[in-house]
Structure 1
Amino acid sequence: MQQDARQVVREYTEAVFRRARTPMEPLNYEVDWADQPSRHKSYPDASRLPLPAELPELPTLRDLHTGADLPPTTGWSLTRLAALLRLSYGVLDRRMTVNWNQDVAKRAHFEHAVWGRGTASGGGMYPVELYLVVGAGGPLLPGVYHYHTGTHVLERLLLGDVTGTVRAALGTDDPGAAGDSYLLAGIRFWKNSFKYNSFCYHVVTQDLGALLGSWDLLAPALGVPLRRLLCFDPAPLDRLLDLDSDAESVFAVVPLNWAETAARPADEPVAAAAPVRARYDAFERSRRVRDFPGVTAVHRAAAAPAAPAPDTVGAAAPPDLPGEPVALPAPQLDRLARPLSTVLTNRSSSFGRFRRPPELTAAELGTTLAFAAAGRRYPADVKQSGGGPELTRLWVFANHVDGLPSGSYAYCERRHALLPAGAEPDDGMSAFLQQQYFLTNYTMGQVGAVLAISGRPDAVLDVFGPRGYRILNAEVGTVAQRAYCAATAQRLGCGAVLGFDNVAMNTALGLDGTDERTVLFLLLGRHPDGTADLAYRL
């Protein structure tokens, strides 16, 4: 049965990687923008609890990268939790800018406004839904709460301690999985699939990773522990939240331990709660909610629980590459000396705003690569002690980088160097990149470099089973969010894209004949000094 599920996932990923040449079903799909879902899931009949809205001054990205001057680790508080939620997924400002994105003309109108958030999301859809399961002794009444991203409040869906249900679903004796309370990160597919149809699952699993990447940065900055759990049975959690698992499902669980908790006696275990469900209905804006067979099939397949042995995880890591390294300038950590809170509130996608000269420098590129690559090591149930091994690799298409010959390279974090992967194409790197990009919102001649994040989907599936696809994409999203943050701190432009022909890009990197594939791309460069931008802080 698992072998059949693994094949479903393999066929879906192959369709994703070849979609520039063979369109995915359904063909000729037209987005019904007038009937799109609300960007903010809500439960209108539920009680609302306002959260603290103040944004704290946090350590800099430099401090987070070096581990210096970080606050001591303590327990969670409601104030820290509120800061985590708002800075990562809450609405921070209204943004308007002149760029080449196709919908820029509409964005000046209020009903089409862009509301900025700290975490990147494919197409700005933000499909992740956050739920808080509070146990006895915390700062809130025990129960289940939904985080309303638009208003920064908690909506109470259920009263009563059901943390036992979460623990039973986790099904592990790992002490790192124990918590007084739990954050559940679910994904509602319609918030993305209404636009991207069958391509949805690939995008939303990376969106989840981007959010977890923000949490990986915010947790040490706030002085609290955070560990992502990805290998569990989602069915009991979906039932608890009263979710149709084909439409919305829990993808990640994060244990929380409060700074001040009424301790239970050591010999008083917490039993699994009796079967109960959240008792409020969510608002649905769309008159017609469609499902897509490709999304449903791959989600059912990838939902199969995974429990790999720790000593087998390394088999999914990309192998070392041969080659004479091209040294990069040492990371300019002083360029990362901006508070994380400032970085997240200023993070945005570049769209068509790249301009050159001046050129991107090799030092700026190297600093971004070093900070992004460090995000591959994170506390998780799918990682060994210390956060390794890494499931992804970073590559560079050097287009216009001062101090670096044009061409393609693999990044070696250990040596902080680039390994040549291919020479500049005969017709020039800019022309090659533009030919392989099938959208119209970027001109590659203005881009300094294209970063590619790769992985080994087949090897990951062999180690983790069908769940491995979600695990790999989560790491891809985490690395992408770190790249966004490093670029923002350096006042560079960054834009994540999925619009390249993966087959051609793999060939250019010399990946033909291997099981390694490019999964996501990030454009890096400069913005002009004078821009017609508006950011109205909330």
Structure 2
Amino acid sequence: MSRSLPISAYYHQRTKYDPETIAQRGKQLDWSKQPSPFKAYKIGTSYDLKPYLELDKNEPEWEALSFFLLLSYGLTAKIATGGGQSMYLRSAPSAGGLYPAEVYLISRGTELLPAGLYHYQPQTHNLLRFWDDHCWAELREACFLHPALEKTQLALVTTAIFYRSAWRYEDRAYRRVFLDTGHLLGNFNLAASIHGFRPHLIGGFSDRLMDELLYLDGEAESVTSVLALNTNPQNSSFGRTTLPSPAMLDYPELDDGELLSALHQASKIITKASVPPRQPDALEDKYNFPFGLKVSLASISAETRYSTRIDWGEDLEELEETILKRRSTRGYTGEALTFDELKQLLNFTYHPEDYGEQGLMDDPDYFDLSLIETFVAVSGVEGLDSGCYYYAPKAQELRQIRFKNFREELHYLCLGQNLGRDAGALVFHTADLALAVSRYGDRAYRYLHLDAGQLGQRFNLAAIQLGLGVSGIAGFFDDQVNDVLGIPDDEAVLYITTLGVPRDQ
């Protein structure tokens, strides 16, 4: 049946939370069916990475790989949940602690790792080689001969086990799966800088060939991203990070419970499409409202260029410590942030070029940041009026949209979570979904949430380093966010990051 909306826009409309219908969506969780966050293989050759965390083995290549995986997705804490059960936290956050993402490593064949397929097992910090054969040619074919795979010897692959999130969040889980994977990509980029790697992000691949390469069924578990892992951290990004899928307009009426799977299948790439050259980024920020206050965040002189830069310590030691101690904040005091703290948070998230001198990648890969817009609802920031602001990263300024204290409305918009009410600021990542789909087809929905998740992870780590609290929110009243904050109607809200002074946990 031909429709007016592509299936990604249809999915987005159908999975919105609305005050009048959210009670109907709720269901009693069957805790006996709670999925395990760990995947096990019954056979394979195990490579124990734990000994190389001791720094006394004098095997720098193993140490680099071990720490890189630990910082990206390793276990960082164990919390008792009652009844003799425990929940394990990881270096990347995940909605509900469900961790739908899995990490695989493909080796072309090195002195370190023989050719084959490897699965990272965070519960034991092991690499399990479950297929010992040369498969690099198949990887390159699945990625349409992407140039980033020509000279490197290792590749990372992320997958999603959808039921882990759908068990709790039902069809809306597709959003959360890709936000969670975006957090993981953010860690890959930052941990790589610490330990001498350069990831090259590949989002355009044949889903069927990648799933077959890893022996996945493509439905219960499927590939979500590929990264060529170069051992030369100085290499700049090259090759396209994106390719389009079709925009599906012919699909049946879908029942609840069918939306997630239908969108994933529709957003797959079957063959490499002919794509026009990538358009240069716009020279100016999207919105320049003719009214309201404009607050500059830029340094005023060469001498103070880095005045808003976060210091990550010698050899990025403090970044490593921050990744390992990161936690999602459960409550805020309601106290105000300082204006300098907000500037530092925005600077680290949107201006990686300011951190090259510290050893961080100054051009980390994203899919298409030109599609992501950022709005900041200020409830308590010293020196800033309460209200909603558009963040213009090119001009480095906040442009006021509405002048109002939104604390109670934010509490409501965030489904009654006190985090929304008590935070000093809430950052909203949005996108013009119609524009994104016109550029990348239904696959745009993946790219948007992956990029929003990666930006959210940079906020996470910057806030922790500054001694602040931070927590992401993917459950909110979609349309009401636009109405309350005055955000343009064509901006679909992807993700919210709350920032504030943490209450003692």
Identify which of 294, 319, 335 aligns with 2:286. Answer: 319
| CA spacing shift, 1:347–1:131, aligned 2, 3 Å | same
Identify which of 137, 140, 143 aligns with 1:164. Answer: 137
> Which secondary structure does the structure 1 equivalent of 2:99 belong to?
coil
Q: Give the structure 1 partner of residue 498 of structure 2.
A: 523
Query: Offset at 1:295?
Result: 1.1
What is the CA deviation profile of residues 451-507 of structure 1, one whole-angstrom value per residue up to 9, with x for unaligned ones?
111112111111011111101111000000000000000010001012321212112
Distance in 1 (CA, whole Å) between partners of 2:146 and 2:323 is 35
Provide the aligned length of Structure 1 versus Structure 2: 455
1:492 aligned to 2:468? Answer: yes
What is the CA deviation profile of residues 47-84 of structure 1, one whole-angstrom value per residue up to 9, with x for unaligned ones?
32211455599xxxxxxxxxxxxxxxxxx944322212
| CA spacing shift, 1:244–1:23, aligned 2, 3 Å | farther
Distance in 1 (CA, whole Å) between partners of 2:150 and 2:28 is 43
Query: Offset at 1:320?
Result: 3.5
> Which secondary structure does the structure 2 equivalent of 1:116 belong to?
strand
Query: Offset at 1:249?
Result: 0.7
Identify which of 309, 326, 349 aligns with 2:276. Answer: 309
1:475 aligned to 2:451? Answer: yes
Q: Give the structure 2 partner of residue 437 of structure 1.
A: 414
Correspondence list, 1:407-446, <5 A: 407-424=387-404, 428-440=405-417, 442-446=418-422
Distance in 1 (CA, whole Å) between partners of 2:231 and 2:385 is 52
Distance in 2 (CA, whole Å) between partners of 1:53 and 1:20 is 52
Identify which of 80, 83, 92 aligns with 1:119. Answer: 92
Distance in 1 (CA, whole Å) between partners of 2:280 and 2:162 is 29
Query: Offset at 1:12?
Result: 0.5
Correspondence list, 1:199-210, <5 A: 199-210=172-183
Identify which of 415, 421, 424 aligns with 1:448. Answer: 424
1:345 aligned to 2:324? Answer: yes
Query: Offset at 1:165?
Result: 0.7
Alpha-carbon RMSD: 2.9
Structure 1 gaps of 5+ residues are 58-75, 97-106, 260-290, 384-388, 533-538
Contact (CA 8 Å) 2:196, 2:231: kept in 1 or not?
no
> Which secondary structure does the structure 1 equivalent of 2:327 belong to?
coil
Query: Offset at 1:86?
Result: 0.9
The residue type paired with residue 16 of structure 2 is: F
The residue type paired with residue 342 of structure 1 is: E
Distance in 2 (CA, whole Å) between partners of 1:382 and 1:446 is 33
| CA spacing shift, 1:335–1:448, aligned 2, 3 Å | farther
Correspondence list, 1:23-102, <5 A: 23=22, 27-52=25-50, 54-55=52-53, 77-95=61-79
More displaced stretch, 480-489 vs 247-256 = 247-256
Distance in 2 (CA, whole Å) between partners of 1:192 and 1:82 is 27
The residue type paired with residue 309 of structure 1 is: P
| CA spacing shift, 1:109–1:341, aligned 2, 3 Å | farther
The residue type paired with residue 131 of structure 2 is: L
1:298 aligned to 2:263? Answer: yes
Contact (CA 8 Å) 1:130, 1:146: kept in 2 or not?
yes
More displaced stretch, 171-180 vs 156-165 = 171-180
The residue type paired with residue 88 of structure 1 is: S
Contact (CA 8 Å) 1:230, 1:381: kept in 2 or not?
no
| CA spacing shift, 1:416–1:159, aligned 2, 3 Å | same
Q: Give the structure 2 partner of residue 354 of structure 1.
A: 332
Contact (CA 8 Å) 1:90, 1:118: kept in 2 or not?
yes
| CA spacing shift, 1:176–1:393, aligned 2, 3 Å | farther
Query: Offset at 1:350?
Result: 0.8
Q: Give the structure 2 partner of residue 222 of structure 1.
A: 195
| CA spacing shift, 1:325–1:53, aligned 2, 3 Å | farther
Distance in 1 (CA, whole Å) between partners of 2:186 and 2:419 is 28
> Which secondary structure does the structure 1 equivalent of 2:39 belong to?
coil
| CA spacing shift, 1:251–1:5, aligned 2, 3 Å | farther
The residue type paired with residue 355 of structure 1 is: T
Q: Give the structure 1 partner of residue 238 of structure 2.
A: none
What is the CA deviation profile of residues 261-287 of structure 1, one whole-angstrom value per residue up to 9, with x for unaligned ones?
xxxxxxxxxxxxxxxxxxxxxxxxxxx
Correspondence list, 1:385-404, <5 A: 390-404=370-384
| CA spacing shift, 1:521–1:381, aligned 2, 3 Å | closer
Query: Offset at 1:254?
Result: 1.1
Distance in 2 (CA, whole Å) between partners of 1:187 and 1:336 is 31
What is the CA deviation profile of residues 157-179 of structure 1, one whole-angstrom value per residue up to 9, with x for unaligned ones?
11111111110001135346653
1:147 aligned to 2:120? Answer: yes
Contact (CA 8 Å) 1:53, 1:83: kept in 2 or not?
no
Contact (CA 8 Å) 2:401, 2:486: kept in 1 or not?
yes
The residue type paired with residue 260 of structure 2 is: V
Identify which of 404, 426, 442 aligns with 1:466. Answer: 442
Contact (CA 8 Å) 1:163, 1:182: kept in 2 or not?
no
The residue type paired with residue 17 of structure 1 is: K
Contact (CA 8 Å) 1:318, 1:392: kept in 2 or not?
no
More displaced stretch, 340-349 vs 501-510 = 501-510
Q: Give the structure 2 partner of residue 504 of structure 1.
A: 480
Q: Percent identity?
A: 26
> Which secondary structure does the structure 2 equivalent of 1:310 belong to?
coil
| CA spacing shift, 1:313–1:196, aligned 2, 3 Å | farther
Q: Give the structure 1 partner of residue 358 of structure 2.
A: none
The residue type paired with residue 499 of structure 2 is: L
Distance in 1 (CA, whole Å) between partners of 2:158 and 2:280 is 24
The residue type paired with residue 12 of structure 2 is: T
Q: Of the two structures, which has the highest relative contact order with CA contacts closer than 8 Å and spacing of 6 or more?
A: 1
Distance in 2 (CA, whole Å) between partners of 1:89 and 1:124 is 13
Distance in 2 (CA, whole Å) between partners of 1:179 and 1:21 is 53
1:212 aligned to 2:185? Answer: yes
Q: Give the structure 2 partner of residue 17 of structure 1.
A: 16
Distance in 2 (CA, whole Å) between partners of 1:173 and 1:179 is 11
| CA spacing shift, 1:172–1:318, aligned 2, 3 Å | farther
Contact (CA 8 Å) 1:318, 1:393: kept in 2 or not?
no
The residue type paired with residue 328 of structure 2 is: S
